Amino acid sequence: MTELDVIGRVYREPITRSKTPNGDDCIIPGETLAGMILGKARGSYQRAAARTLIETGYIIGYKAGGDVLKGKARKYTGRYGASLRNFAYRVQDALPGRYQLEYDRVGPKGAWGFRLTDEV
């Protein structure tokens, strides 16, 4: 399948518009785009972040895996942050056409994270 075929499939599928807790627009991807995002995840933490992005349209940085890091994992917060950034870079490189993964304030009280958008 060529890149143009993938772009065509992505644009034919309906997308759902949503809002981040901060009030910015984001989108919930269709099936093909969701599969592309999930395919870029490596490891359980990134798969959890990918599922969050697919379900909500955004990822809050400190809760990317679904909840705040607890226990021994808190010692490795910097590594989890680097893992999330690497995942986001791979997703951004794979997104077709006008779709973008933006780093912005997305969470309540201005927490930083990523949101999926189709703004030009």
- Segment 24-47, tens digit of pLDDT: 999 999 888 898 999 999 998 899
Q: What's the pLDDT score for residue 51?
A: 94
User: What are the extents of the domains in the chain?
Assistant: 3-117
Q: pTM (2 decimals)? A: 0.86
In this prediction, residue 52 has a pLDDT band, given cuts at 50, 70 and 90, of very high
Write the DSSP assignment of the chain as a string of letters: --HHHHHHHHHHS--EEEE-TTS-EEEE--HHHHHHHHHT--SHHHHHHHHHHHHHSEEEGGGTTSS---GGGGGGHHHHHHHHHHHHHHHHHH--TT-EEEEEE-SGGG-EEEEEE---
Q: What's the pLDDT score for residue 107?
A: 84
pLDDT in tens, 59-95: 988 777 767 767 777 777 778 888 889 999 999 998 8
